[in-house]
Chains A and B, each alone.
Chain A
Amino acid sequence: MILPGNASCQGCPISIVMRCLDEISNPVLAIPASCSTVIAGLHPKSAMKVPVVHVPFPSTLAVAAGLSEAYKRLGVKANVVAWIGDGAADIGFAALSASAARKDDLITIVVDNEAYMNTGTQASLSTFWKAKTTTSPTGKTEERRNLALIMLAHKADYVATASVGYIKDLRRKFRRAEEMKGFRFLQIHTPCPPGWKFPSEKTVEVARKAVMSGAWILWEYDGKLRLSKAGEKYALKENRIPLEDYLKQGRFSHLSDEEIRELEQKIDEDWELLLRFS
């Protein structure tokens, strides 16, 4: 789906997710301004082996809805994929919410790298509490928004979180989305080496530690919410690795022990809230 020699950074998690697109038949991608725009290739070349419609930042879900409606009417079999990240779920939130509410027949994939990476690591609604970015140089003061849970509140046909640290689970969720119809939403945790400031060979390790420390929860919803097998044991706090192990990233290097404890408490609250829906 993505050719070697593309423009992604060393250790880029997005290109890992792009490789998994082979689980989805007849894909047509809509990609807004983001790292993925560059990875997909500069005109007149393309690094993708699938059709890509490049679109403005806030418009992805609405363009995808238009593509999907038109294919349906014109009798074209297609899986339209709204491929967003780098803050497109912020600026395009109204369109995302409307598309989910309409139950448009498309797959939304959020490659969640927790900031606006392509413009130089500015804080987004997805940025972790206390994380340093170029617009939160002393650490972000607001908590991250739980986008997947908001999609669940739309009663979307399928909602899943996934991680580049757990490719089998991720590919299974892509297959599940591909089998279904309607509005399908996947939010994939994609740790970004230059943005989060960790060595580029540690992308998968950092992604795994996010799950193992409880900081990223793997779950899916198709009318019923379930924890995914790959990460369900971390619901129990004693099974988790120390949060400090996950936080060994440049963006968290300034945290005091007290702040780490506070962060841990916020993670506990996230679990508690999510499990109320299960």
Chain B
Amino acid sequence: MRTEGNRNDSGIKKLLTSNEAIAEAVRIAKPDVIAAYPITPQSPIVERLAEMVGSGELDASFVRVESEHSAMAVIHGAATAGARVFTATSSHGLAYMFEMCWWIAGSRLPAVMAVATRSIGAPWNIHGDHTDIMSLRDTGWIIGMAESAQEAFDMTLQAFAVSEEVNIPFAVGIDAFTMSHTAEVVEIRDVRLPERRQAYRILPGMEVAVNAVTVGDARMRARYDLAVDLEKSAEVIERTDNEFGSHGGLVEKYRLEDAEYAVVMAGGWCGDAKDAIDMLRDEGVKIGMLRLRFIRPFPEKAVKGLPSEILVVDRANTGIRGILGIETSSCGVEVENVVAGLGGLDVDVDNFYRLFRKFVDGKLEKVEWLI
């Protein structure tokens, strides 16, 4: 694919939260149909979009639904008819729409969703971790996780381009509050996306059924094709990276060139971890970070290229282990795994410094929880 107008870096700079940056990106993507239900901390995205639709700044249908299940169902229907679509959610909202997430992926419909990543109850907690977005791993969605408002902006626009090229829905993750509600300088690049493309659309007069009951190998073939195409989307993400801010494709490699120790992480909290890495570097420790910008497709090649000492720091668990810990070790590497920062529990630069020091000193257990 080719985009126009995003070659020069002379866009307007604005002070925006990641929520606002995503809303700006959606405005530029010109969706036909937006459907959304409020949930903290995602709500400002769709409130801003509703304002834009109200003022005429954005020419789109904004469907006020009664639940997240219906939000995903409305964009499923609209995408089936051939519309460019967007929704946003968090936490319980994602859990509530989970069924439809499977359907839109299985139907191979392009769609974009922002997820302000928040913990899932019980107990109640509105703060950040990655539990919600990680639940999408099995559905077949492309899952990206931004680290800054700029990256949230760029990734959202890239999401439309990639999703509509590979016919797979695309989720853009931003950390709750530390990104969703924190303002940073964002360069608004006025990208012109290609016209909406998709593998099929359903129109009146067609004698066709989509997603009828399958028997035999039809369902297994559909899942296989989706899995293969999801892997192939890595190439499209890498190829289009320089048109959407040049953030590194599937991963960002931070001070990894000569590293003997590697930290694997994803999401907004990587910034503080990078500061801790800088502190250790100043002390002469050869440590760096592999920041996973994508969870699906999983950056297996980059993981395989890491030095042998690997620490994966997770913000979501499955059983006693972290989810990315399991994902990373599934690539055939040995990892140490720390689960931290659940329910917005603060992990600051000092915490990261002490954690990484412990890792480098060989004093970490195989699996630890930072409580």
Contacts and interface: CB of A to CB of B under 8 A. Distances in A.
B78 A69 contact: yes
A63 B80 CA distance: 9
Interface in B39-77: 60-61, 63-67, 69-71, 73-77
A69 B63 contact: yes
Nearest to A59: B73
B212 A46 contact: yes
A56 interface: yes
Interface string A85-121: 0000000001101100010000000000000000000
B20 to A, nearest CB: 25
Most buried by A among B61, B212, B218: B212
Interface in B184-243: 202-215, 218
A42 B213 contact: yes
A66 B77 contact: yes
Main secondary structure of the interface of B (DSSP, over half): mixed
Contact of B82 (A74, A79, A94): A74
B75 A26 contact: no
B80 to A, nearest CB: 6
B73 A102 contact: no
A223 interface: no
Contacts of B32: 70, 73-74
Interface stretch (A47-55, A169-177, A224-232): A47-55
A65 interface: yes
B207 A26 contact: no
A72 B77 CA distance: 13
B35 interface: yes
Nearest to A46: B209
Interface stretch (A12-20, A33-41, A250-258, A260-268): A33-41
Contacts of B208: 46, 51-52
Nearest to B76: A63
Interface residues of A, number: 47
A70 B204 contact: no
B74 to A, nearest CB: 4
Contact of A54 (B60, B99, B100, B211): B211
Counting contact residues on chain B (CB < 8 A from A), the size range is 35 or more
B74 A63 contact: yes
Contacts of A48: 207, 209
B259 interface: no
A78 B211 contact: no
A46 B43 CA distance: 41
Interface string B78-120: 1111110100000000000001100100000000000000000
Most buried by A among B64, B73, B82, B100: B73
A236 interface: no
Given A43-B214, A69-B63, A73-B61, A51 B207 contact: yes
B73 A41 contact: no
A48 B35 CA distance: 30
A98 B74 CA distance: 12
Interface string B122-137: 0000000000000000
A97 B70 CA distance: 12
Nearest to A49: B207
A77 B215 CA distance: 34
A94 B67 CA distance: 8
A51 B206 contact: yes
Given A43-B218, A98-B65, A38 B77 contact: no
Nearest to A28: B204
Contacts of A38: 213
Nearest to B214: A43
A27 interface: yes
B70 A95 contact: yes
Given A51-B203, A59-B70, A65-B63, A70 B77 contact: yes
13 contacts: A42-B215, A43-B212, A43-B214, A58-B99, A59-B76, A62-B71, A65-B77, A69-B63, A69-B74, A70-B79, A74-B81, A76-B204, A78-B203
Interface of B: 32-33, 35, 60-61, 63-67, 69-71, 73-83, 85, 99-100, 103, 202-215, 218
Given A61-B70, A62-B76, 20 more contacts: A41-B209, A50-B207, A51-B204, A53-B210, A59-B100, A62-B65, A65-B63, A66-B33, A66-B74, A66-B77, A66-B81, A66-B85, A67-B81, A69-B78, A70-B78, A70-B80, A70-B83, A72-B61, A94-B66, A97-B66
Interface of A: 26-28, 30, 37-38, 40-46, 48-56, 58-59, 61-74, 76-79, 94-95, 97-98, 102
Those 10 A-B pairs whose CB atoms lie nearest each other, nearest first: A66-B77, A62-B73, A70-B81, A62-B70, A70-B83, A63-B77, A98-B66, A66-B78, A26-B204, A59-B73
